[in-house]
Amino acid sequence: MLPAALCVIAVAASVTAVTRHPLVLVISFDAFRHDYVRANMTPSMVRLRAASASPPYMKSVFPTKTFVNHFTMATGLYAETHGVLDNYMFNRSHGLIHYTYEQFHYDNTVVPLWVENENYGDGRHSGVMMWPGSDFEYQGKLSTYVQKYNRSMPWNDRVDKIMSWIKDDNKPANLVFAYFEEPDRTCHSVGVESQETINQIVKADVTVKYLLDQIKCENLEKKLNLIILSDHGMESITYDHIIFLESYASNMTYKMIVTGPNAFVYPNPGKFDEVYANFTKAAESGTFNVYKQDQIPERWHFKNSPRLKGLIYLLAEPSYMFWYDILNITAKDEFKVGTHGYDNANERMNTIFMASGPAFKSNYTAEPFESVDVYPLLSHVAGLKTPGTAGARPCNGTMDTVRHMLRQDAPSAAVRPPSRRRSQGVWAAVLLHAAVATVTRCL
């Protein structure tokens, strides 16, 4: 290991060969709630956010679930259009699907941005690291670089692999999407406030620091646009807020898929009205809501999916969640889990977004926007056709809510006051606190 100072001297003599196109790297930490960015847990993210273009939070699309929001950010489409309605859902024949080609291909005209980028040709190459949906072909195409989901792969190794894609001599990636499964995975088991969850939040911050070191080390600060974001927030659930659905309607009258606070119910032939009536009566408890397809709120952009035909949809109220059967546990007072999927108007479902690099303003507080607007922003910054302009693919997102974060559009309002600015720029500001860090990868 060599001190950072030596690293800087070494890179001064070497220039990393990278794409001649705009370079965009998107990093997602699953279920990183907007209020996890705190000085005592995530010092690197605090510094990065302060130096970036960043809203106080980003709003998820409904349902506030992993596959839904990651596919929304990749396609610019709401769930009712891209067809991924949840992590677990019914297929056409009412069988369970979970992370299958079929789940991500209800409509074959839906193509994620990493494939669009490849289609532009001219030396453009995409890399996808474990991003939900990224290891399936779309219209017969994959990214140039694909790392399938592999939880055992150390996080620093993932960063190293991403950098190797960007630095590849023959096929340098110009657009990379990378997914990290925490703090979501741990938090589901132990809740938001547990030390185990905090440890994963800290781990994400340490990984951001490592990534920033690599970017600095490779002399890519003025080339690379880095977007750090997440898909949704998280809520803690105690035992007294568990809803045992089977106690309300005989499970002989329907098939059901429960995913935290969300449930798809497929009544048996001739049983729709009976099942709907039973769950509607149960919902008088005030802990959840019951919807026929045409009763689902328009604002969720969910109801018009053909995949909901013939189903009843249930959504728990905040801090409640469904459970299939009776929990056989003794320590009910100590029971605590984490979940998400609620109404996207619930502020605990809000998540993070911070963008830095040559395309973005520094030290800029943006207005909050929805995750569906990430796609047009990425299209624009990557130099692809921007939705809303001639020849671009239609999408549900808009540049109107995100354009003001771009450097060239720079109006005056909402720029942070001088006291919060850092004259050294984004990367220098973030790296300053760790001048003694050791980095060897670029040597």
The continuous run of DSSP H or E covering 206 comes out as: helix 195-217
**Antiparallel, parallel or unpaired: β 242-244 and 321-323:** parallel
By the rule CB under 5 A, 86 interacts with Zn ion: no
* Closest distance of CB 132 from Zn ion, Å: 8
Cα separations in angstroms, 271 against 127, 144, 249, 266, 267: 47, 49, 11, 9, 6
Separation between Cα atoms, residue 396 and residue 187, nearest integer Å: 31
Helix (H, G, I), strand (E, B) or coil at 257: strand
Indicate which single residue of 86, 231, 317, 373 sits in contact with Zn ion (rule: CB under 5 A).
Answer: 231
Binding string to Zn ion for residues 95 to 124, with x set by CB under 5 A, is what? Answer: ------------------------------
Stretch that binds Zn ion, among 60-68, 234-242, 248-256, 345-353 (CB under 5 A): 60-68
Site mask, Zn ion, residues 7-26, x = CB under 5 A?
Answer: --------------------
Nearest distance, CB of residue 69 and Zn ion, angstroms: 7
Q: Is 339 a catalytic residue?
A: no
Q: How far is the CB of 260 from Zn ion (least distance, A)?
A: 11
DSSP H/E element including 199: helix 195-217
**CB-facing half-sphere around the CA of 225: CA atoms within 13 A:** 25
Q: Measured from the CB of residue 232, what is the shortest distance to Zn ion in angstroms?
A: 5
Distance of closest approach, residue 423 Cβ to Zn ion, in angstroms:
37
Candidate list 66, 126, 346, 363; residue touching Zn ion; CB under 5 A:
66
Size of the site for Zn ion (CB under 5 A): 5
Q: How many residues does the chain have?
A: 443
Tell me the residue nearest to Zn ion as measured from the CB: 66
Q: Which of 66, 186, 386, 398 is catalytic?
A: 66
235 interacts with Zn ion by CB under 5 A: no
Contacts of residue 330, defined as CB under 8 A and 6 or more positions apart, other chains included, come to: none
Contacts of 227 (CB under 8 A, 6+ apart): 24, 25, 26, 27, 353, 354, 355, 356, 374, 378
Residues of this chain, 272-291, that bind Zn ion according to CB under 5 A: none
Sites for Zn ion among residues 321-340 (CB under 5 A)? none
DSSP string, 87-139: SEEE-TTS-EEES-TTTT-SSTT---HHHHHHHT-TT--EEEES-TTTTS-BT
Q: Which part of the chain contacts Zn ion (CB under 5 A), choosing from 31-39, 276-284, 382-390, 426-434?
A: 31-39
Closest CB to Zn ion among residues 83, 132? 132
Q: Which is nearer to Zn ion, 32 or 276 (CB)?
A: 32
Is position 30 an interface residue for Zn ion (rule: CB under 5 A)?
Answer: yes
Q: How far is the CB of 38 from Zn ion (least distance, A)?
A: 20
Nearer to Zn ion, 155 or 248 (CB): 155
CB 77, CB 387: distance < 8 Å? no
Nearer to Zn ion, 31 or 110 (CB): 31
Binding segment for Zn ion (CB under 5 A), chosen from 72-80, 138-146, 228-236, 291-299, is 228-236
Output the smallest distance, CB 325 to Zn ion, in A.
25
Q: Which stretch binds Zn ion (CB under 5 A): 4-12, 227-235, 256-264, 267-275?
A: 227-235
Contacts (Cβ under 8 Å, ≥6 apart) of 304: 80, 81
- In whole angstroms, what is the distance from residue 264 CA to residue 267 CA? 10
Q: Closer CB to Zn ion, residue 87 or residue 278?
A: 87
Residue 151 DSSP symbol: T
What lies within 8 Å, CB to CB, of 97 at 6+ separation is 88, 89, 90, 91, 103
Q: What is the DSSP string of 273-310?
A: HHHHHHHHHHGGGSSEEEEEGGGS-GGGS-TT-GGGTT
CB nearer to Zn ion: pick between 65 and 361? 65
- Of 117 and 371, the one with the shorter C-beta distance to Zn ion is 371
Q: Cβ of residue 346: shortest distance to Zn ion, in angstroms?
A: 15
Name the one range near Zn ion by CB under 5 A: 184-192, 373-381, 404-412, 424-432: 184-192
Residue 327 CB, nearest distance to Zn ion (Å)? 23
**Residue 63 near residue 341, CB atoms below 8 Å:** yes
Tell me which residue of 426, 411, 295 sits closest to 356, measured CA to CA.
426
Q: Which residues are catalytic?
A: 66
Residues of this chain that interact with Zn ion (CB under 5 A) are 30-31, 66, 184, 231
